[in-house]
Amino acid sequence: MVKSYMRNPWLRGGYETTKSTESGNKRSQPLRNDEKSSACYLDYPEKVASRKGDQKMAARKLSFTRLDQGKPLLNRGTLDQYRIVVVCVRGNVSVKETMSLILKEAIGPEGSSPTLVLGPTAPEDLSTEWTGKVGWITFVDGTSIAHPSTDVEIISPDNLLEINLFIEKAAQGEGSQIILGDFLDNIIKSIGSPESFYSFFCQLASRVRLRKRTAILVIKEDIHEKPMVEMVKRFADIVLEFRDQDNEGALTVEMRTLNFADNIYTRWLPFPQALRPLCTNYT
């Protein structure tokens, strides 16, 4: 006769013995307490893991579920819980449309007007409903040209001091304030030294964190060298990545979230059809 163990979910100990006989296996009495202890040893880590952090695991599962259902961190009032949010776009995904999407979905018109710090995207390319200050980090002919709107201040990308001062003034005040823009594209291209850019960006990130503000920084990932992009991601609490995919001749957008603050990471997920930030003219 050979004695073996099989799992019985109805027993408190979880295991019972079976005896092999000529006529088949017949169930015997449940194990004694000392036998239960030995038999349940292999099940112990699983039970401990399931008890230790049930709430934490449930929260992470909920986050993954929310992201997998196409409702990423663009929900209203979600991004402003973090300090540095880096949005990387590549391919035919439009920077302008991505920022418009963030303004509409993640910030909303009922919130306080964000400070726009723009680069390749001109102020008139975005919605005119926002009444906050706008910094346009771009090159212009001549020494200094004023923008027709008094709310727009033009700053050269190689004038890091003026850019820092503008952001410093934007970070002042009470309440939740958001800084949004694609100005890093022009700064990275205008600064020849990675060390100089690192120093500038380190000061920017520190200023935002000390003031408890939120900076949503959009960059066109595929026009920069990879080390520069990784340098920007290094300071981020959350990285949102957008890319285009050719699905049998139809362009679709996928999004991936790297949430370093909460240690939550998602795979590439299809973006909702109605919210695709695609370039329609492929320029």
HEC readout, 23-91 = CEEEEEEECCHHHHHHHCHHHHHHHHHHHCCHHHHHHHHHHHHHHHCCCCCCCCCCHHHCCEEEEEECC
Query: CA–CA separation, 254 vs 256, rounded Å?
Result: 7
Q: How does pLDDT run across 15-64, given as a tens digit for each residue?
A: 444 444 444 444 445 555 554 444 444 454 454 445 545 544 444 333 33
Mean pLDDT of the chain: 74
- Residues 141-160 have a mean pLDDT of 76
Using alpha carbons, list the distances in angstroms from residue 264 to 20, 50, 185, 187, 273.
49, 19, 27, 30, 24
Fold designation for 73-275? Rossmann fold (3.40.50)
pTM of the model: 0.70
* Domain range list for the chain: 3-51, 73-275
Q: How does pLDDT run across 188-208, given as a tens digit for each residue?
A: 998 878 899 999 999 999 989
Q: How does pLDDT run across 111-130, given as a tens digit for each residue?
A: 677 889 999 999 888 875 66
- C-beta separation of 121 from 95 below 8 A: yes
